[in-house]
Structure 1
Amino acid sequence: MPVITGDKEFFKGIGQIKYEGPQTDNPLAYRWYDAGKTVAGKTMKEHLRFAVAYWHSFCGNGADPFGEPTHLYGWNEKGDAVARAKDKMDAAFEFITKLDLPFYCFHDVDVVDYTNDVADNEKRLQTLTEYARQKQAASKVQLLWGTANLFSNRRYMNGAATNPDFHVLAHAGAQVKAALDATIALGGQNYVFWGGREGYMSLLNTNMKREQEHLARFLHTAKDYARKQGFKGVFFIEPKPCEPTKHQYDYDSATVISFLRQYDLLEDFKLNIEVNHATLAGHTFTHELQVAVDAGMLGSMDANRGDYQNGWDTDQFPNNINELVEAMLIILEGGGFQGGGINFDAKIRRNSTDPEDLFHAHIGGIDTFARSLLVADTILRQSEYKKIRADRYASFDSGKGAAYEKGGLSLEDLREYAVANGEPKVVSGRQEYLENLINRYI
């Protein structure tokens, strides 16, 4: 992939990041991510489908509720909105091509600053869409998915598609239309809906049934428009239980799948699962993955992690190989992503103030996933992992157990079997052995 820069180089002194192998001491090289290496029938690049998140990496400034910005980078310094947006896009494509990654993702307001003028926002986004089209053509970087930010503007304080005011809902529709148009124009492979404020703060002033019906109608309306425009990609819903809203309607994987089934949206929608959102829902990431895989609904993922001491969405870069090996086991056995990939929805810390820190963060996350993929594949090929799980359910593979699975036994039949066969044996689940097995292969 060629490195693409604009009129000026934002990451001076950093060349293209290359694979140098596990023995390298170069912090600006991949130790495990060998994009062309074949693993389980596909290359690493095809398995992992890495994407850079436009918002955290190029819009985040390190500010928090207690302090001013600390990430003072050159692409946000001066000029009108369009000029600054082009600088930011120059920096983004320089960064992505230096990392040699295939994809990026964005919200509409990440690409260019919006005002409250719908027509002006559309014009701004169209201008930057054409600029992005040129960048994509020159670099071969593709858009994994686009989306609209329907949560930051104060008009969305009570939700967007679930807002009690139809006027606000109409603004959300206009914004989604423009974001869909941009995604389609750029050949985006998917489109994401994240209900940042689609929920409630208090049931005292909320008609929950009506709001969820409005959300379903909104998703159908957006989907129908995109299909009419020729969009062939997958639509994703990204579950999150709370924060900023007390309760959000896309609480977790199971809740979203139930919602999609109830409102006849399963055919067009899959799930984009985020690690830190799983934590906030009181689940493990592997739980959320397994629920999605079992339903045939794993579309994509946002890669990050939370802080065990902080109960909010800290969006830190992933670095726990043990947890990611367990995740990659599920993803590999589930057949991989349906349309999506691994998007680094993660941000460098407030006190990581050098542009180079962006590279260290992404390289670390990329290598952790790549190594986890290798370990998971080895476990599936060489260890007892699959046999142990298969043996645990062997009683359902033949005889009365198989008949039960096929619906051939009544409750009376179950009683007769229990009486005839006495007390069951106590059989170990071998949990500690399996945990040790993962560590052994790491």
Structure 2
Amino acid sequence: MASIVTGNREFFKGIGQVSYEGPQSDNPLAFRWYEPERVVADKTMKQHFKFACAYWHTFNGNGSDPFGAATHIFPWDEKRDAEGRAADKMDAAFEFMTKMQLPYYCFHDVDLIDFTDNVAENEKRLKIMVDYARQKQDTSGIRLLWGTANLFSHRRYMNGAATNPDFSVLTHAAAQVKAAIDATIELGGENYVFWGGREGYMSLLNTNMKREQEHLARFLHMAKDYARKQGFTGTFFIEPKPCEPTKHQYDYDAATVVDFLRNYDLTGDFKLNLEVNHATLAGHTFQHELQVAADNGLLGSIDANRGDMQNGWDTDQFPNNLNELTEIMLIILEAGGLQGGGVNFDAKIRRNSTDPADLFYAHIGAMDLFARALIAADRILNESEFLKIRSERYASFDSGKGAEFEAGRLTLEDLRDLAAQNGEPQAISGRQEYLENLINRFV
């Protein structure tokens, strides 16, 4: 396979640069709220979000589902040979990201070009596409937020990758991860992600769960050590998901991953990349998952999307809930921002959204929504009594016996005597409806 040679084909004809035009604009191909250089909470919007295009959904997604074939037949899919499709796809991706003012992108190794079953051939193919991507990055200024390896689609990974009971499968996973790390470093990637798409089990009847998790931890240490040896200074992320495709995944939710990282001495190098739709599948709100990560100092990055409340699977729709995003931005701002990562739109246009322009509408709407949420959250923190109300709710622990309890200076007997001495506590309202109304006033 020779190095890539491509022309100057335009894939999104009739669509120019998407720019900020303000809330009064009627232009569907313009930002109403997202101003990249606008400063909010001491940083520009561009710095807050580090918006990234999900290469897999945006340029590999074809609209197929378990009940029907592809509906998205886009111009970059036309060529029959792997290298031709890969080059067109990358040309289209960088044209789209440039027109959208998306400063970052993310990819799995197999997103860049079709892989074979031959390790050496896959490494050769990936290297050629990495060289081409580096040219595109240099020309456009677009950067790689994170890279990763797809260790879940191929048949060999039906029983997992790093947790597979067959050692030979684990070696193939290692080969892919090594090549993906090399590619990430070559492209100046700021982070590297592990999503254990099949790192779990379907039945405990044939599973040694303890041994599999120990294998996963060893695998992560080996990957981390290799990357550091190659000069990688970025952060590694784990992306939790509870189920689907496996019955139960070892990276079930934020709390499970935090415990895993601590148990296996990985917190020094790893943080969490959290996804909205995965939180839904775990039975949590995304706010809960973010707070767990933030409270443990491990809030690294987010995949932005949403699920469908009537569908119990990972629908990966673009975000559209302003109230939810405002609460999300409150947590992120209070945590001091994302640690190393950004906002990756791990979302796909719907099966019946078949025009290339639909990719623009989806991303514009999501970026605008995040911008509105950031502005609202910053105002709530600085112009309302939101923080005061929450602080006052815990005021009994700020002084006196409550403060002594927090400092560890009271015994269980002391607490019993205080309860007997003070009698039945007065009911104190949590003021939930008031706070919900407060959020609504600012959005």
Paired position in structure 1 for 2:130: 129
Q: State the secondary structure of the residue aligned to 1:26.
A: coil
Name the aligned partner's letter for residue 17 of structure 1. V
Matched letter for residue 32 of structure 1: W
Cα deviation for residue 82 of structure 1 reads: 1.5
User: What residue is the counterpart of 2:3 in the other structure?
Assistant: none
Is residue 2:411 matched to residue 1:394?
no
Q: Give the partner amino acid of 1:156.
A: Y
What secondary structure sits across from 1:250 in the alignment?
Answer: coil
Partner of 1:319: 320
Question: Aligned-pair distance for 1:140?
Answer: 0.6
Distance 1:376 1:39 in 2: 10
CA distance in 1, matches of 2:31, 2:189: 27
| Contact map agreement 1:251 1:281 (CA 8 A) in 2 | yes
Deviation at 1:79, TM superposition (A): 4.2
Deviates most, 300-309 or 411-420: 411-420
Provide the TM-score with structure 2 as the length reference.
Answer: 0.98
Is residue 2:52 matched to residue 1:51?
A: yes
Which 5+ residue runs of structure 1 have no aligned equivalent?
Answer: none
- The aligned counterpart of 1:153 is 154
> Is 1:163 aligned to residue 137 of structure 2?
no
1:418 corresponds in structure 2 to 419
**SS, match of residue 56 in structure 1:** helix
Unaligned runs of 5+ in 2: 1-5
Structure-1-length-normalised TM-score:
0.98
Residue pairs, 1:263-412, within 5 angstroms: 263-412=264-413
Aligned mates of 1:65, 1:401 — CA distance in 2:
56
Helix, strand or coil for the counterpart of 1:296? coil
| Partner in structure 2 of residue 41 of structure 1 | 42
After TM superposition, the structure 1 = structure 2 runs for residues 134-213 of structure 1, keeping only pairs within 5 Å, are: 134-213=135-214
Distance 1:309 1:331, change over 3 A: same
Cα distance in 2 between the residues matched to 1:80 and 1:120? 15
Query: 1:251 corresponds to which letter in structure 2?
Result: Y
**Aligned counterparts of 1:426 and 1:7: Cα–Cα separation in 2:** 70
What residue identity is the alignment partner of 2:84?
Answer: A
Q: Give, in whole Å, the separation in 1 of the partners of 2:171 and 2:71.
A: 36
Aligned counterpart, 1:78: 79
**SS in structure 2 opposite 1:134?**
helix
- Is 280-289 or 79-88 further displaced after alignment? 79-88
**Contact 1:241–1:281 (CA<8 Å) still a contact in 2?**
yes
Identity of aligned residues (%): 76
Looking at structure 1, the residues matched to 251 and 65 of structure 2 have their Cα atoms a distance apart, in angstroms, of 26
Whole-angstrom CA distance in 2 between matches of 1:402 and 1:396: 5
Give the letter aligned to residue 221 of structure 1. Answer: M
Cα distance in 1, alignment partners of residues 154 and 114 from structure 2: 12
- Post-superposition offset of 1:419: 1.6
- The total of aligned residue pairs comes to 438
Please say if residues 6 and 90 of structure 1, whose CA atoms lie closer than 8 Å, have aligned partners that are also in contact: no
Alignment map for 1:212-251 (pairs within 5 Å): 212-251=213-252
Distance 1:422 1:6 in 2: 81
Shift of 1:66: 1.3
**Counterpart AA for 1:184:** I
Quote the offset at 1:83 in angstroms. 1.8
Distance 2:84 2:68 in 1: 27
Cα gap change, 1:125/1:400 in structure 2, threshold over 3 Å: closer, same or farther? Answer: same
Measure, in 2, the Cα distance between the counterparts of 1:380 and 1:176. Answer: 42
Matched, 1:256 2:251: no
Shift of 1:6: 5.2
Amino acid at match of 2:203: S
**How many Å separate the matches in 2 of 1:311 and 1:32?**
32
For 1:94 and 1:18, the matched residues in 2 are separated by: 15
* 1:304 partner letter: N
Contact 1:271/1:292, CA 8 A, preserved across alignment: yes
Following the alignment from structure 1 to structure 2, what is the Cα–Cα distance between the partners of residues 178 and 26? 43
Matches of 2:289 and 2:404 in 1, distance apart? Answer: 30
Question: Partners of 1:376 and 1:209 in 2: how far apart?
Answer: 42
1:126 alignment partner, SS class: helix
Secondary structure of the 1:96 match is helix
Q: CA RMSD in A?
A: 0.8
Superposed structure 1 runs of 4+ greater than 6 Å apart:
none
